[in-house]
Structure 1
Amino acid sequence: MNVQPEASKQEVMPVEKRRGILSVSLRNHIAAWLFLIPYLVLYVWFMLYPIVKGFYISLHQWTIGREPVFIGLQNYSYMFKDKYFWGALWNTLYFVILSTPTLVIVGLLLALVVNAKMKGTTFLRSAFFLPHILSISVISSIWVFMLQPYTGFVNSMLHKIGISQEIFWLDDVHLAWISILIATVWWTVGFNMVLYLAGLQEIPEEYYEAARIDGANSWQCFLHITLPSLKGVTLLIVVLQSIASFKLFGQPWLMTQGGPGTATRPLVQYIYETGFRSNEMGLSAAMSYFLFAVMIVFALIQFKFLSKKD
């Protein structure tokens, strides 16, 4: 007679426990969503909606103050026939090819310097990273002042070492790109240095000790231990730097205004001029989406060739 109540009690207890666990899990999910909803609302409104709206605009002929007229893919067709668009795209690709390897190599070298066990490395870390916290307008103003002919700091230093020729850094096509590159490296390389420094400090010292016991020199340790260990950090820096270089705008706009002529006008500047000077919002939106597609393809290629399984 006592077996049946015991059995029923054993059957009831797990059900009650499951209900308690489910209620706790439900409360946790509700609490999590309550914290996430404010961010999700802002993210949808300020990120996802503009993306969808921008693509909608790219399919219309739209000038500010007038109703948009649907024209399908005509903006994209006109864009591909525009020689100035291709010129601006080439300028952007040229800067990506020029700046990405430079910033990766210089960032790695600076990280190796500040990671060395020497006096003053704390000061060097701060000095190398400090320009990164400045705004692009400040950076550009500094370098325009330093690169001025006759009175600029750079030309004055060149005169002191025996170079008498006056160099017009921002008025020559090739020198203008070099000037923009120098300003960009000085401004952003500190961030890459910090990423590489974090990667260097994650490498176990035992690896180097074992390599030295086997007779490896410093170069061999760097080639076979340091570089392979930094592959993930290098991939991150290459992708981030490529994306940032594709979005180049502030440096040429403030330093050269895209000149001389249109030699240093990147695609983002041309998009800006098309939208806000020529008042062709639909066409500028189409260019923006084409640039977005190029950046996605470029990033996928980098992941394909750089992220190989160990």
Structure 2
Amino acid sequence: MATTTEAPDQIRTESPPPSGGADRRARHGRPALLFLAPFLALYLLFIIGPALYGLVMSFFQTSLVRPGLGTFAGLDNYAEALGSSDFWWALWHTVWFTILTTPPLVVLALLFALLAERVRRGRWFFRLAFFLPYVLPSAVVALIWMWIYTPELGLLSRTFETMGLTAPNWLGDPRWAMVSLALTTVWWTLGFNFVLYLAGLQDIPRDLYDASAIDGAGPWQQIRRITLPLLARTTTLVVVLQVIASLKVFDQMYIMTSGGPNFSTRSALQYVYDVGFTNYRVGYASAASTLFFVLVLAVSTVWLVMTRRQEKEV
């Protein structure tokens, strides 16, 4: 009777049980959790905890001069905020500032990124020059531009006088104050969007430009048919991040104008600050900040929906 033997390479080996991979991932995940634990603890203590406590305070008549939460108010704080003309004016000032700053910060960042990417020599200098203002503290930027806007003595006023023109009161005239703040913000924060566009440009393969050049495409055709379509996701990210950043404006407005003149530049965050720390109505300020948070959350949701649509199209 003949017997057959299987070759070693034909011997079937049993696969490990499915639970082995899960156990291995769990063992590898424990060190990661240990490294993340300090950050998570601080995040819960200083971000999530105060946010939840602020949400609770929005339902009470909490005051800085009285201990505890105070008397229960229900939705009265929210109703008062929604019925307050000061709150809506502050919200409109914030939206108007966003409208003034977002388009130039997106368009100029893209334009300068395209120019800096095409420079052959000294590329590092242009990258540094555009990004350097972004690292300056807000107080330093505000003081620099307050000196530039100073009537009669400021750099901008002297420039107007040299050209035979009368310079307006940049920060003292309600018609010019918000425009002046927007100009300061564009100069200050342009570098962040500039870097994002540079990163997006570096991800575009150079082979596409070489092939289009062989086919006779000029620089403008390359930008219109290659660069801009491939930067669509980067542009969406830049626009949404810029809208959120502009909606959260506070520092430069508070330092340069303190919301004036005649509250024409008071943003939503400064309104929350004024009613909370000047009028000591912390509960009402928490309700106003919660309503403002809903607005920012809505903008973030729109970005998430747009991003998912772009991923499906790709």
Q: CA deviation at 1:18?
A: 8.3
Within-5 A mapping of 1:1-310: 24-66=24-66, 67=68, 68-163=70-165, 165-305=166-306, 307-308=309-310, 309-310=313-314
Q: CA deviation at 1:36?
A: 2.5
The 3 A distance-change label for structure 1 pair 19 and 298 is closer
Deviation string, structure 1 residues 4-35 (Cα, Å, up to 9, x no partner): xxxxxxxxx97999898776554323333322
The 3 A distance-change label for structure 1 pair 69 and 185 is same
Paired with 1:266 and 1:298, the residues of 2 have a C-alpha distance of: 17
The 3 A distance-change label for structure 1 pair 26 and 258 is closer
Give the TM-score normalised by structure 2: 0.88
Q: CA deviation at 1:124?
A: 1.5
Amino acid at match of 2:50: P
The 3 A distance-change label for structure 1 pair 174 and 211 is farther
Contact 2:201-2:227 within 8 A present in 1 as well: yes
Deviation string, structure 1 residues 51-90 (Cα, Å, up to 9, x no partner): 2111100000011132321111100001111100000000
Determine helix, strand or coil for the equivalent of 2:216.
Answer: coil
Paired with 1:19 and 1:296, the residues of 2 have a C-alpha distance of: 40
Give the TM-score normalised by structure 1: 0.89
Contact 2:276-2:282 within 8 A present in 1 as well: yes
Paired with 1:32 and 1:302, the residues of 2 have a C-alpha distance of: 30
Deviation string, structure 1 residues 174-194 (Cα, Å, up to 9, x no partner): 311111111101111011111
Contact 1:79-1:283 within 8 A present in 2 as well: yes
Determine helix, strand or coil for the equivalent of 1:264.
Answer: coil
Q: Choose 26-35 or 218-227, whichever is displaced more.
A: 26-35
Determine helix, strand or coil for the equivalent of 2:86.
Answer: helix
Contact 2:237-2:303 within 8 A present in 1 as well: no
Determine helix, strand or coil for the equivalent of 2:258.
Answer: coil
Q: Choose 282-291 or 41-50, whichever is displaced more.
A: 41-50
The 3 A distance-change label for structure 1 pair 23 and 82 is closer
Deviation string, structure 1 residues 267-297 (Cα, Å, up to 9, x no partner): 1000000000000001100111101100111
Q: Choose 271-280 or 299-308, whichever is displaced more.
A: 299-308
The 3 A distance-change label for structure 1 pair 221 and 75 is same
Contact 1:235-1:303 within 8 A present in 2 as well: no
Q: Which residue number corresponds to residue 8 of structure 1?
A: none
Q: Which residue number corresponds to residue 4 of structure 1?
A: none
Q: How many residues align?
A: 297
Which structure 1 residue ranges, 5 or more long, are not aligned?
1-12
Amino acid at match of 1:98: L
Q: CA deviation at 1:96?
A: 1.1
Contact 2:204-2:230 within 8 A present in 1 as well: yes
Determine helix, strand or coil for the equivalent of 1:60.
Answer: coil
Q: CA deviation at 1:305?
A: 4.9
Paired with 1:111 and 1:50, the residues of 2 have a C-alpha distance of: 39
The 3 A distance-change label for structure 1 pair 123 and 59 is same
Paired with 1:197 and 1:51, the residues of 2 have a C-alpha distance of: 35
Contact 1:115-1:197 within 8 A present in 2 as well: yes
